[in-house]
Copies of this chain bind each other. A is one copy, B any other.
Amino acid sequence: MAVDRNYFQTKTSGDKKNQHKGETGPTMVGDEYSDSALMNYLGARKTTMLGNNFSEYHVDEPPRVILDKLEQAGYRVVSMTGVGQTLVWCLHKDTL
């Protein structure tokens, strides 16, 4: 079954020592299930962190800049939340 990719999730992580760090990026914008054309549009690089058996896409820009780019691709923020020291955005694209 083909499923449109209408939901998008992005996040940035601070750390307890430097709560401000996360806001300047990097921003995590995808994983191995992500649309590679969209990852390319965002200029994201694919990385596999040591000890992980899965890949992620990151960009160096802060989340707000990524949200602006994603809006041009049709996505809008539905909700934002914090979990631990990480700030997460859930975006959605309407496909009429």
Contact = CB atoms under 8 A, between A and B. Distances in A.
Interface in A1-21: 3-9, 13-14, 16, 18-20
B4 A68 contact: yes
B87 A88 contact: yes
Interface residues of A, number: 49
Contact of A71 (B7, B84, B90): B7
- Classify the interface of chain A: helix, strand, loop or mixed: mixed
B78 A92 contact: no
Interface of A: 3-9, 13-14, 16, 18-20, 23-24, 31-33, 49, 51-52, 54, 56, 61-65, 67-69, 71-72, 76-90, 92
